[in-house]
Amino acid sequence: MERIWVFDTTLRDGEQVPGAKLTGPEKLEIARQLAVLGVDVIEAGFPASSPGDFAAVQTIAREVRGVGITALARAVKADIDAVWEAVREAEQPQIHIVLGVSDIHLKGKFQRSRAEILEMGVAAVRYAKRLTPWVQYSTEDAGRADLAYLTETVRAVIDAGATVVNIPDTTGFCDPQEFGRIIHTIKNEVPNIDRAILSVHCHNDLGMATANTLAAIKNGARRIEVTINGLGERAGNTALEEVVMALKVKPEFYGVETHIRTEEIARTSRLVSTMTGIWVQPNKAIVGANAFAHSSGIHQDGVLKDRQTYEIIDPRSVGITESRMVLTARSGRHAVRARIAELGQPIDDATFEQMYQQFLDLADRKKEVYDEDLLALLSQDEHPQHDQAYELVAYEVTVGSDRHPRARVTLRLPDQREMTAEAAGSGPVDAAYSAMDQIIGEKARLLEFSMQSVTEGIDAQARVSIRLDSDAGLCIGRGVDSDVVLAGIKAYLDAWNRWAARQRQEARKWA
């Protein structure tokens, strides 16, 4: 298959995102990872913009091997000299020149005629060509340019020595059919196009950057300008991971391949996200947190039986260990049981059914049920097998900065009667315990109360452990719930139920 050359501009166009400013060492670390990823060219910055950017580009050129290094220059001698001085020590130094080609840019930015801009571009390429064999010329805003003038420009800069001609849809204006037609025209009507690599650079203002890039490939483009996570001006650029994986998933359709090591995609995405502080949206293709996550019970069941039912990409191929089954109230028995098996927890059918109902109760109160939640539900300590002498029917607590905490608790007793009591306390848990003492008819002294988070997040489950000392002896109880008050109530009832079970055992022994 033909090769697609991958030009990564994360460190130049990607860094132009507001708030994404990178330090020199951060740019170097990302550049090294891009080389590991297998990109063909790294656009390391815009040297003429600042001394700091010049130094960062120069450091990358000196230290990152096995990949082409380039940087951006306007079509003026000073910019071109700055790029060359910054990249000249690279293993494969390249110069990238950009100049507008649409009438909007010519009149709005430059106040010059088409002929003047064309002459300016040709002169810039000729000058750069004296410095390095690899010169790229970008026809800025080609997506809105007059097609005849665009093809004339491409022919002229190739004659001047450009080895790469880049066609940018700078404002994300084109749709795939339109942009494909532009590339097809250049590929078939520029007589010297075989002397240069045809490249594209698409923006995502209308959400079509990836589609436009793929349309360009279908019509003859063989170099693509992309960024990690789709970073870039305004709505961003074409995302490297999206195009690369589209080509990998559908090789028979596109008939081309890249040399990207796709298993490094997730690692690279995380590094760029961390360094720039621009977090990836959860539903982002390929690298979003939900890209390989399944919460629907129907989907989970399908993936567990055959991954291909709902996944066209093996997550391991992009560096993600496995698909993620998100356990929610919509998850079915199959998914929950499969996750329990993965956690190495043997469970029989009867116990699972009991636990599954507890899972549903918890899932109704939490956005997501984590592994730690499942382990807590499965724990014999949190869910003892002894008979429940006292069962919680309902509870209500009232707290506030200007009132004493009060609790109203209803319990079901061993004879199946329900009793309700109210009490005040130093806090909502203390008030609930006082109310339960009235119902149970025993007074206990709380020796120990400890609570810890079972899982992460604001909706995490709390595990409460208590020790009571009463006339009936020492009682230990544990409870787990995302409601910390309810977790404390469960622990208190667990302690009394353990005591009741112990009393029944003693009675049977002497009977």
Annotated binding site for Mn(2+): 13, 201, 203, 237
C-alpha to C-alpha distance for 374 and 358, rounded to whole angstroms: 10
CB 265 within 8 A of CB 319: yes
3-state SS string over 377-410?
HHCCCCCCCCCCCCEEEEEEEEEECCEEEEEEEE
Please report which residue ranges of 233-277 form alpha helices under DSSP H: 240-249, 251-254, 265-276
Token code pair at residue 186: 């250049």
Give helix then strand counts, H and E, for the chain: 17, 20
| Residues annotated in a binding site | 13, 201, 203, 237
C-alpha to C-alpha distance for 51 and 55, rounded to whole angstroms: 6
Long-range contact pairs involving 360-366 (C-beta distance under 8 Å, separation at least 24): 360/329, 362/461, 362/481, 362/482, 363/327, 363/328, 363/329, 363/331, 364/329, 365/459, 365/482, 365/483, 366/459, 366/461, 366/482
- Nearest 5°: CA angle at 112, between 111 and 115? 165
Handedness of CA 13, 18, 20, 24 (dihedral sign): positive
**Coil/strand/helix, residue 429:** helix
C-alpha to C-alpha distance for 147 and 122, rounded to whole angstroms: 18
**Coil/strand/helix, residue 463:** strand
C-alpha to C-alpha distance for 509 and 511, rounded to whole angstroms: 6
Token code pair at residue 457: 């997040």
Q: What is the DSSP string of 78-107?
A: HHHHHHHHHHTTSSEE-EEEEEE-SHHHII
C-alpha to C-alpha distance for 72 and 321, rounded to whole angstroms: 37
C-alpha to C-alpha distance for 45 and 28, rounded to whole angstroms: 11
